[in-house]
Structure 1
């Protein structure tokens, strides 16, 4: 039997959805509980969370969920998790506060109360292991790495991190603690790979702060800042720059006020000047050269908001000549097309665009040099690159080999792979269920591959509907087939196609009615196959074909009632 098992329910070979499992003996330690936002092919899907099936099967072994920081990729799946599992959740003061905000939007998860605030000095003893923490640098304060101390050595999970020697209080990495962990002996290191491919070193945050200050000072009109709500470091830099240029700030966007006000109350953010926050309803009273609109949200939401502002679809705010759209978030490469379209629409509206990424390499994730420095501090026996697509994990592995990690000691896992440590050796052993659970509106997990495939087909080729009414007893068609289409062809310009399709349906239905072994499913399948062959022949497209067969009986006999005599 394996002494230690390490597996990923999410977070490897993808961006976000971080959820890792460390099993020591009969105890399961869950590291982060995140979500990811869908790529374009997941039509209509709001978010994607890990599949909890393995945890359901082993719920009695779970001792807790340990959170590294307050971003959606680490805490976003918590509302769904705590609705099912009654286990304690541990995190720093701010991380727990943001986790509670995340859980407030769900009627079940908002009742969950088993949150525990910890810090970098905390140690929690369990039967098989001790869990401790260390301070890291990220774009949200109080980010922590996690150490699961076992008899065989430490298992270290970095969460999202980078090294910045100029980081301010609340954002600083504890290098001394890292060195101590390394001296104790690190069995396995689960390390952030999100920026491993970038050869350029990210600039220090004070350089970014100077750029934001300069932008605010010299622009003569409104500045609309696009920023992720939970990137509190960037929000503070905007507040500081606005105060320095004597500007007021209006908060807009998803959960903006809730997140910012929570951080202000906890003194994780501060306002350099009193009265500098202005309600959206009152911003028209502030002259444009004295106003900053801070548009926040989740992941790509601030950019989508800029797009709506540029096209006149954002309530209360339209971009116009003299405005500057200032993009202070660094979108993923998957959003490149959306960013380009947004820039184009902003310029069409007469405004200007400026982005931090145009001038500097800015990231909240470790560079190649940071990753190598971490390895040299910890000296792990095994390395598990996480948090990133395969090419990023592979770049991380290559960097690790350059500082002496043997290739056979580096594991590029897939979600569901299980690393097993037994007899002083780590190997990829069994696998566990680790699929995606789709969140679509109020539906959780009710959207599968078949539904997504149908949505994809509908988006590509549309739908083709054939309605026909039959009398099965008389073996005849009562009403000629009615053909309609949406998203396939323009009906008025395709009368011949529709007429021929109706004829095909008529023939197929009549052939089936004449068959003594009539079968409903066989009839519908025949219609689909014949129409699909014809439509592809004519259009080289495959619409979703929906046959609707209605049955009537025209020969119902009713007994005539005898008239009742008047009394």
Structure 2
């Protein structure tokens, strides 16, 4: 029998991380994340993995293990769990709290059992024996997995870096990694996000010193934007605010939720009582005693920082002397919206600080030297890079080769392929299972496909052009001039000559193609109008709007 390793997402992209392990009649699911749309996906909110294979095999699923609480690992849980039979979830305490909050938002809390595990627990689910090891990331309770299967030991390490001085004082468990290496690792799956960046990732401690200095030196208020689940960064800001005698205002729903969860579970510590205040209280304090912690580090349109930058926030307005800090690196595709937010803040009089000006962010992902050390510690027989765009996976594969993994034992997969491990050897197979993007748009999940997306792209590029024809059923002729509606193509009041020509062309098409009104084929007439008016408009404008012909019979 073979162990099948099937990535449903998280390779070929940063986001929607989900991996399936299957041995015999047992399936183990690792993570269930969302991805974010790019500019070719207008109107799409999120992307989730295609889980058709799991839906068809839901009786085999023994459980889902979640490695940590970021949305690219837990975000798809409410969309996916009801479809795959609500299997039990196993995860660390803080991650469990974030999952409960997410399920609560979708009114699904209580459907799946969430089992809290400890990093020293051993879990047996069917043919899988799972041990956990602590990893450093920028959220507490991040773990890697060591999974014993009949086909050998698999080490799964997603979203990690080696930090010897982390904010919570709990470094990576190097001893366990070395122990797994001594046992013999059949396959290592490891994070590739920063595989192209040389050196070691910066410690959170170094960053903490920068934040301390920044808050002490700023003359006015500091508006500090970061990810809502970057709990280590939030702790550093609270500590720095205390040292510089500042009170903290928190704005942005997701950030308020995260801080509440972490304070109630002791994953965040307040350096002094009464440090977190409301904005109306902050207005009564001198500016150099206030720091505003906000969401919006990715320039999201409706985030608190974006609303502040457009002067649309209910309680917070930028004034001269404010310092705005963005403590995050841009997710690919978000650069333009971040740049726009920063420009708006600068226009309002704020001093703007971000990655290029100051080391105000450190990645939660390992750089090249850390990635090499992970391979050296675990000494895997086979290696599979995960978590990254394809070029990142290739860079990570090259690093593994440099530190001694034979090229024939390195497997860089595409979504839809799977890796098979057995006593006979290891090989890549076409999984022949449905993969690809499932789009979430509002309340709709999967109802927007490639065709709808293509229509949206056409309308966003060249607009739409509606031709309404009122045709006499008996004679087959137009009873009046066609009505034209244009949206995003031309401004109708300024294009009377073109519209006159279009109406003449429409009349020509209808009267030449509809010689036998008793046998009128309206679908054919619509198709001819669409093709010929489309060609006519292209000759006149070199644009191709979406043409929608409408026939009204009278």
Q: TM-score range by the shorter chain?
A: over 0.9
Alignment check: 8 A CA contact 1:295 1:302 kept: no
Shift of 1:270: 0.8
5+ residue gaps, structure 1: 553-567
Most deviating of 498-507 and 210-219: 498-507
Match of 2:239 in 1: 240
Q: Alignment partner of 1:542: what SS?
A: coil
Single out whichever of 530-539 and 110-119 deviates more from structure 2.
Answer: 110-119
1:507 aligns with 2:524: no
Deviation sequence 1:57-102 (CA, Å, 0-9, x none):
1111111110000000110000112222220001100000001111
CA contact (8 A) 1:91 1:118 kept: yes
Whether contact under 8 Å (1:193, 1:387) holds in the other structure is: yes
Structure 2 residue aligned with 1:112 = 111
Q: Larger radius of gyration, structure 1 or 2?
A: 1
Q: Which residue is equivalent to 1:563?
A: none
Question: For the Cα contact (< 8 Å) 2:167–2:204, is it kept in 1?
Answer: no
**Does residue 358 of the first structure (1) align with residue 360 of the second (2)?**
no
Superposed, 1:478-557 pairs within 5 Å as 478-515=479-516, 517-552=519-554
* Matches for 1:352-391 after TM superposition, within 5 Å: 352-356=351-355, 358-360=357-359, 362-391=362-391
Q: Give, in whole Å, the separation in 1 of the partners of 2:356 and 2:5.
A: 36
Q: CA deviation at 1:255?
A: 1.9
Return the alpha-carbon distance in structure 2 between the equivalents of residues 358 and 322 of structure 1.
18
Deviates more, 1:276-285 or 1:59-68: 276-285
Give the corresponding residue for 1:266. 265
Structure 2 contact 74–99 (Cα < 8 Å) conserved: yes
**Structure 1 SS opposite 2:109:** helix
1:407 is displaced (CA, Å) by 1.4
Deviation of the 1:231 alpha carbon? 0.5
Report the CA distance shift for 1:357/1:387 in structure 2 as closer, same or farther (over 3 A): farther
Q: What TM-score do the two structures reach when normalised by structure 2?
A: 0.96
Aligned-residue offset at 1:242: 0.5
Cα 1:281–1:524 shift into 2, 3 Å: farther
Displacement of 1:303 in angstroms is 9.7
Q: Deviation of residue 18 (structure 1)?
A: 0.3
Could you list the per-position Cα deviations for residues 494-519 of structure 1 after superposition, in whole angstroms to 9, with x for gaps in the alignment?
11111111111112222333146422
Q: Which residue of 2 aligns with 1:465?
A: 466
Question: 8 Å contact 2:297–2:305 — kept in the other structure?
Answer: no
The answer for the alignment partner of 1:278 in structure 2 is 277
The offset of 1:153, in angstroms, is 1.6
CA drift of 1:474 comes to 3.1
Change (3 A) 1:304 1:252: closer
Q: Tell me the distance in 2 between the aligned counterparts of 1:173 and 1:396.
A: 20
**2:418, 2:169 → 1: CA distance?**
35
CA distance in 2, matches of 1:175, 1:75: 26
Shift of 1:336: 2.5
Cross-structure match for 1:397: 397
User: Tell me, what secondary structure is at the counterpart of 1:412?
Assistant: coil
SS at match of 2:271: coil
Query: Following TM superposition, by how much is the alpha carbon of 1:171 offset from its aligned partner in structure 2, in angstroms?
Result: 4.1
C-alpha displacement of 1:299: 5.6
Distance in 2 (alpha carbons) for counterparts of 1:380 and 1:518: 71
Give the drift of 1:175.
0.6
Does the CA contact (< 8 Å) of 2:470 and 2:552 recur in 1? Answer: yes
- Rounded Cα–Cα distance in structure 2 between residues aligned with 1:300 and 1:135: 32
Determine if the alignment matches structure 1 residue 474 to structure 2 residue 475. yes
Following the alignment from structure 1 to structure 2, what is the Cα–Cα distance between the partners of residues 283 and 514?
Answer: 77
For residues 515 and 104 of structure 2, the distance between their equivalents in structure 1, rounded to whole angstroms, comes to 61
Helix, strand or coil at the partner of 1:334: coil
Q: Aligned equivalents of 1:302 and 1:164: distance in 2?
A: 33
Q: CA deviation at 1:148?
A: 1.5
Q: CA deviation at 1:151?
A: 2.6
**Secondary structure of 2:318's aligned partner:** coil
Q: Distance in 1 between matches of 2:259 and 2:403?
A: 41
Contact 1:157–1:190 (CA<8 Å) still a contact in 2? yes
Structure-2 separation of matches of 1:279 and 1:480: 62
Partner of 2:87: 87
- Please, which moves more after superposition, 332-341 or 479-488? 332-341
Deviation at 1:112, TM superposition (A): 2.0
In the alignment, does 2:405 pair up with 1:420?
A: no
Q: CA deviation at 1:492?
A: 1.5
Distance 1:548 1:207 in 2: 65
Give 1:170 deviation, angstroms.
6.2
Name the SS for the 2:448 alignment partner.
coil
CA contact under 8 A between 1:248 and 1:278: conserved in structure 2? yes
Which residue of structure 2 aligns with residue 222 of structure 1?
221
Report the alpha carbon displacement of residue 545 of structure 1 after superposing the two structures with TM.
0.5
What's the CA shift for 1:200?
4.0
Give the TM-score normalised by the residue count of structure 1.
0.94
Determine if contact 1:226/1:302 at 8 Å carries over to the other structure.
Answer: no
Residue in structure 1 matched with residue 103 of structure 2 by the alignment: 103
Q: CA deviation at 1:356?
A: 4.5
**Contact 1:247–1:292 (CA<8 Å) still a contact in 2?**
yes
Give 2:309's aligned residue.
310
- Distance in 2 (CA, whole Å) between partners of 1:336 and 1:507 is 49
**C-alpha distance in structure 1 between counterparts of 2:532 and 2:262, whole Å:** 63
Task: Tell me whether 429-438 or 165-174 shows the greater mean CA deviation.
Answer: 165-174
**Superposition pairs for residues 285-300 of structure 1, below 5 Å?**
285-296=284-295, 300=299
Partners of 1:292 and 1:497 in 2: how far apart?
58
Alignment of 1:9-158 (within 5 A): 9-84=8-83, 85-107=85-107, 109-158=108-157
Structure 2: how far apart are the matches of 1:357 and 1:138? 22
For the 8 Å contact 2:26–2:62, the answer to whether it is kept is yes
The CA distance in 1 between the partners of 2:379 and 2:424, in whole Å, is 17
CA contact under 8 A between 1:466 and 1:482: conserved in structure 2? yes
Any unmatched runs of 5+ in structure 2?
Answer: none
Tell me how far apart the structure 2 counterparts of residues 75 and 171 of structure 1 sit (CA, whole Å). 23
CA deviations on 1:524-553 (whole Å, 9 max, x unpaired) are: 11011011101000110000101111112x
**Aligned Cα root-mean-square deviation (Å):** 1.7
Q: Distance in 2 between matches of 1:78 and 1:527?
A: 47
Instruction: State the shift of 1:473 in Å.
Output: 2.8
Q: Could you say if the C-alpha distance between residues 110 and 520 of structure 1 is closer, same or farther in structure 2, counting changes exceeding 3 Å?
A: farther
